[in-house]
A and B are shown apart, each in its own frame.
Chain A
Amino acid sequence: MRVRTRGYWLYLVPSLVLFVAVIVVPFLMNVGASFTRWSGVGTPRWIGFDNYARLLEDERFWQSFQHNVGLIVAMAVVPTAIGLVLAAALFDYIGKRFGPRTASALRAAYYLPQVLPVAVAGVVWGWLLHPSYGAVNEMLGLDLDWLGDPDLALATVMAVMVWFQLGYPVVIFMAGLQRVDPAYYEAAEIDGASWFRRFWHITIPQIRPEIFVVLLTCTIAALKVFGPIFVLTRGGPGNATMVPSYFSYLNFFQKSNVGYGSAIATVLALIIIVVTFLFLRVQEREQ
């Protein structure tokens, strides 16, 4: 019996209406605004590509993307690398010698920062890193202004983000290792392969899809990062931790440069769309 498919369209109607109102129209309005000079009140004035030309020459814009690269390292690259070692150690070593309960307790400890709202994680670290009463200086016997010193601020934010992000790859990779055939590990162990060889030749190739998913989702998250910057540094000191999302927010809501802010947001959106498509393409190929 053939099930007719035409009537199913009806079920998409509520979402499509909302989708157009909340995503499509605002996105097009944002792109439109990026070609204007507009303070948010009155009539926008059409200025063509001037905002984009100005972006290319704006040192702060380039710096903000450089900082994004740093955050990709801190949120995607480093957590993936450390997460791989931790997941393999917990799964292939601790789990076997000390039991699965020990392994999952450690996993839960690494994962706990991930459950926090990222703004709350920022509040926690803002307090820990406070230059006069913070616990970090007290513990290390130092007297540094971690978030207020332009040479330190970005590195400090990066370290906080490693702490926040680390648990995510550990959990995903350990879940991925569950589906690896244990025979691989048993055979390798009988052959006397060292832990490192098993890690390199079994663990990494077997969970390649997970590694890929984690790297890409974390890269997108790093490109969008806003909350920690808002809470910890507001892009400062100077522009030491400025990122595109905060830079556009600043132009929208504090400087009333809506056109310029829209141009920044549009560029960021395009970069993220490209990364998303890259992700879909490779995911398709993997399957």
Chain B
Amino acid sequence: MRGPGRWAVLAALAVLAVVMLFPFALVALNAVKSPADYSTQGPLALPDGLYLQGLVDFWNRVGFGGKLWNSFVISGSVAVLAVVLSVLNAYALGIGRVKGRLSILVLFLVANTLPQEALAYPLYYLAKAVGLYDTQLAVIIVMTVIQAAFGTYLLSAVLGQFPKEILEAAAIDGAGRLRALWQIVVPISRPTLNVLLIFFFIWTWNEFFLPLVFLISNDTQTVPVALAVLQGEKYMDATMSSASALLGIVPAVAFFLIFQRTLTRGVTVGAIK
């Protein structure tokens, strides 16, 4: 296939790319279309003009700024706390090689793959008992443990390869264990920790089940939960729905573009999740 054949292959793959991207284009197109325009021209026509009122109305009605902030606070806290816990665990397991490390690692991995349905009701019950139900703190604590379980599994393997000579030199210089962790292990592992931080942030941002169970009031909800429970509201007509879809898409695609380079390098790391 030297001649026109190769263009046929390219065309086929490009058509598939268009199909994959078409829903995004349609959402963007119709989110800026007026309801009158939508009902006369339908979803496939180009909009008559730029109509932003649908987006503005939806934003104000659901307090979307607040949802973004909630998602940001939860995902950011979980990412930082889960990286801290992962580092502490991996320090003990990967470098300290404590006894029973293999069983501990397997336990952590199982915890991460466990369906959240098998934890949800007791967590809901316990959160109510201690007054944490419908608070972001509850989601932050639970998600931190689940993400850190995965982070520990991954980071222990990475720190298992950590050059021992450096640590021994530090010990001879009289550096304690905590100082060795803070001043040597953490700075040297910074690239891996950054990848973990970004993954934890995005995974938590995308999380749906536990936030749905825990966050029932308007003030605490995250973006995905708010968009999902608003489906089927009376005011969600065609253009309003596409506006809501667009507001869900934009932050996710923005993260992808911002973190793309780190992510494509790290996506094979995430493969075991």
- Total count of chain A residues near the partner, CB < 8 A: 91
- Per-position 1/0 for A241-264, Cβ under 8 A of B: 000110011001100001001101
Main secondary structure of the interface of A (DSSP, over half): helix
Q: Are A230 and B43 in contact (CB under 8 A)?
A: no
B133 contacts A by Cβ under 8 Å:
no
Main secondary structure of the interface of B (DSSP, over half): helix
Q: Which of B23, B213, B253 contacts A124 (CB 8 A)?
A: B23
The CA-CA distance from A98 to B22 in the complex, in Å, is 23
Q: Are B115 and A245 in contact (CB under 8 A)?
A: yes
Q: Which residues of B contact A11 (CB under 8 A)?
A: 88-89, 91-92, 96, 181
Which residues of chain B (92-119) have a CB below 8 Å from chain A? 92-93, 95-99, 104, 106-111, 113-119
A180 contacts B by Cβ under 8 Å:
no
Q: How far is the CB of A169 from chain B (nearest CB, A)?
A: 10
Known contacts A135-B43, A231-B231; A280/B106 CB under 8 A: yes
Partner-binding segment picked from B61-69, B190-198, B243-251: B243-251
Known contacts A14-B85, A109-B21, A117-B224; A124/B212 CB under 8 A: no
- Per-position 1/0 for A206-246, Cβ under 8 A of B: 00001001100100100110110011000000000000110
Partner-binding segment picked from A125-133, A148-156, A185-193, A197-205: A125-133
A163 contacts B by Cβ under 8 Å:
yes
B149 contacts A by Cβ under 8 Å:
yes
B77 contacts A by Cβ under 8 Å:
no
Q: Are A276 and B109 in contact (CB under 8 A)?
A: yes
What's the A-B contact tally at a CB cutoff of 8 Å?
A: 269
Q: Are A117 and B109 in contact (CB under 8 A)?
A: no
Residues of A that sit less than 8 Å from B by CB: 1, 3, 5, 7-12, 14-15, 18-19, 22-23, 25-27, 29-30, 33, 40, 86, 89-90, 93-94, 97-98, 102, 106, 109-110, 112-113, 115-120, 122-128, 130, 133-135, 138-139, 163, 166-167, 171-172, 175-176, 195, 210, 213-214, 217, 220, 223-224, 226-227, 230-231, 244-245, 248-249, 252-253, 258, 261-262, 264-266, 268-269, 272-273, 276, 280
Residues of B that sit less than 8 Å from A by CB: 1, 6, 9-10, 13-14, 16-17, 20-21, 23-24, 26-27, 30, 38-39, 42-44, 85, 88-89, 91-93, 95-99, 104, 106-111, 113-126, 141-142, 144-146, 148-149, 152, 164, 167-168, 171-172, 177, 181, 202, 205-209, 212-213, 223-225, 227-228, 231, 237-238, 241-242, 244-245, 248-249, 252-253, 255-256, 264, 267-268, 271-273
